A = this chain, B = another copy of it.
């Protein structure tokens, strides 16, 4: 009997050996691209400070996405929290502390927050991967998960360097997709990160800054994002000339790549063959 490569329930995925083999091959490819441009691999904290995120308009633009981390209040613990319980369907909100931390909804926030106040002597490339979380109205297989894996390759520097980064990665990804017979189209997108009424969404319409790489019926498995100097300003990251840096990220939704490859090639063995070739 052939075991499925993965299973999904309630927006949460469990990846088995064959899905992990595909993930590792994809990650190997993304990391080799990152190495080609000298991007520093980094792993950042799994929790972000609420206050820091509010500095980049997080709670103004997408409070609905936020998965908030808190804990059981010490007073409740001291009162003997553990004693009276059988099955506990939820920790009631009265028992929780305020949410001073949030789980990341994208991998690259940490990069900008980590460089807060710094001067970069030259254009900086950084790559990171993170387990990301977004509350959605509906979940759908590996296509739309509550918790998923995002690999990003980020450029921080002059507008020209950032644009060149995004252009060259679009080429790399499209050539790779062609080589593994994964048909992709690209489309300028409105960023679902931003709430329709927000100032950023308005800016997004004036200067389209997000391009999505779409598989099949419009599944974005990658995106190229030009943030202008938004994060440079908010996090006070400056270039050697004293100007706030521009930033741009290339983002890969790892589980979506796995879904698209399985959809295209039928089974995991074939996907591994194609990726390994």
Interface residues, chain A, CB within 8 Å of chain B? 12-17, 20, 40-47, 50-51, 54-55, 59-61, 63-64, 66-72, 77, 81-83, 85-94, 96-100, 102-103, 110, 114, 131, 133, 135, 146-147, 195, 198
Please report the C-alpha to C-alpha distance between residue A70 and residue B72 in the assembled complex, in whole angstroms. Answer: 12
Q: How far is the CB of A35 from chain B (nearest CB, A)?
A: 10
Residues in chain B near residue A85, CB distance under 8 A: 54, 59-60
Residues in chain B near residue A54, CB distance under 8 A: 85-89
Q: Is the CB of A64 within 8 A of B50?
A: no
The main secondary structure of chain A at its interface with chain B is: mixed
Most chain B C-beta atoms within 10 Å of own C-beta, residue among A50, A55, A82, A98? A82
Please report the C-alpha to C-alpha distance between residue A114 and residue B50 in the assembled complex, in whole angstroms. Answer: 32
Q: 10 smallest A-B Cβ distances: which pairs? A: A12-B45, A91-B99, A90-B98, A54-B88, A15-B43, A90-B100, A46-B147, A60-B82, A93-B96, A51-B89
Residues in chain B near residue A86, CB distance under 8 A: 54
Q: Is the CB of B99 within 8 A of A82?
A: no
Q: Is the CB of A68 within 8 A of B59?
A: no
Please report the C-alpha to C-alpha distance between residue A72 and residue B65 in the assembled complex, in whole angstroms. Answer: 9
Give the nearest-CB partner of A40 in chain B: B17
- In addition to A16-B40, A47-B147, 13 A-B residue pairs with Cβ atoms within 8 Å of each other are A14-B114, A17-B40, A17-B41, A20-B41, A20-B43, A50-B91, A54-B87, A60-B82, A60-B85, A64-B72, A66-B91, A67-B70, A70-B99
